[in-house]
């Protein structure tokens, strides 16, 4: 009898704790925020008659918007699949034989992160997981610069249609509001240009990384 009373008391305490915490086992919500991204790879140098064309990375990051929906399943340990629209890009330094200019580009992606997380305090959590990104559009002046210099129209093929990466970060939950700060890196190239020169082709491969800050609302 005493054992049953003790078990009932523990269940009541746990129930009160969950009620005070306000954590649901299942929630659906919206997230929106900004990306701060850059690309990294080896420098590219090509000769065109008497001129030399050099392309190198810049450390500058490019701003982009992100937003979408998420679904969280679990309390202390949880799984969070997401569907996000995400703008990512980077900047390059271009030397055309006479002057150096900055060229930039931006990609529009549909991302599918799958985050695995754990709450380490009442409001604080950490999460990490894979993300698959699908390119749905590009903008910027890097493509035009490349096409003008090489007289080729192949730069569309340089932007990979799909890439695989990872995200990791921390989050804070305050009521129905979620605040997330994440780092994203690529496992596969987002830019991979096919050139006749095998050495140049190996040089012009780029991976992307970004910092992401978002605010979410769980229904």
> What pLDDT is attached to residue 18?
43
CB burial string 50-68: b at 16+ within 10 A, e below: eeebebebbeebbebebbb
Compute the half-sphere exposure of residue 141: CA atoms within 13 Å on the CB side of its CA. 8
What is the rounded CA–CA span in Å between residue 15 and residue 20? 9
pLDDT in tens, 20-38: 456 789 999 999 999 999 9
SS3 assignment, position 189: coil
> What pLDDT is attached to residue 123?
92
SS (H, E, C) 91-148: EEEEECCCCEEEEEEEEEEEEEEEEEEEECCCCEEEEEEEEEEEEEEEEECHHHHHHH
For the full predicted model, state whether its pTM sits above 0.75: yes
Cβ proximity of 37 and 61 under 8 Å: yes
Cβ proximity of 68 and 84 under 8 Å: yes
> What pLDDT is attached to residue 173?
96
CA dihedral 193, 195, 200, 202 (to 10 degrees): 50
Q: Report phi then psi at 21, rounded to 5.
A: -70, -30
Q: Report phi then psi at 72, rounded to 5.
A: -115, 130
Residues 6+ apart with CB under 8 A from 139: 105, 106, 108
Q: Is the dihedral of CA 194, 196, 201, 204 positive or negative?
A: negative
Per-residue pLDDT of the chain (219 residues), as tens digits, is 555 544 544 444 444 444 445 678 999 999 999 999 998 887 777 765 556 777 777 778 899 999 999 999 999 999 999 999 999 998 888 887 788 888 888 899 999 999 999 999 889 999 999 999 999 988 876 666 666 665 555 666 677 889 999 999 999 999 999 999 999 999 999 887 766 666 666 667 889 999 999 999 999
């Amino acid at each position: 009898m005493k054992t049953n009373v003790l078990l009932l008391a523990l269940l009541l305490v746990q129930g009160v704790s969950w009620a005070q915490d306000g954590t649901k086992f299942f929630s659906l919500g919206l997230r929106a925020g900004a990306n701060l991204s850059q690309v990294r790879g080896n420098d590219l140098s090509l000769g065109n008659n008497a001129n030399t064309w050099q392309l190198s990375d810049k450390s500058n990051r490019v701003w982009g918007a992100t937003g979408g929906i998420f679904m969280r399943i679990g309390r202390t340990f949880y799984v969070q699949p997401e569907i996000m629209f995400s703008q990512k890009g980077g900047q390059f330094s271009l030397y055309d034989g006479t002057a150096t200019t900055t060229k930039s580009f931006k990609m529009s992606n549909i991302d599918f992160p799958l985050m695995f997380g754990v709450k380490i305090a009442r409001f604080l959590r950490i999460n990490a997981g894979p993300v698959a990104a699908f390119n749905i559009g590009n903008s910027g002046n890097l493509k035009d610069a490349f096409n003008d210099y090489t007289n080729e129209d192949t730069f569309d093929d340089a932007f990979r249609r799909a890439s695989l990466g990872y995200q990791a970060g921390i989050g804070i939950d305050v009521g129905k509001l979620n605040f997330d700060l994440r780092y994203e890196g690529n496992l596969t190239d987002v830019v991979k240009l096919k050139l006749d020169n095998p050495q140049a082709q190996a040089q012009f491969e780029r991976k992307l990384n970004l910092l992401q800050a978002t605010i979410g609302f769980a229904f």
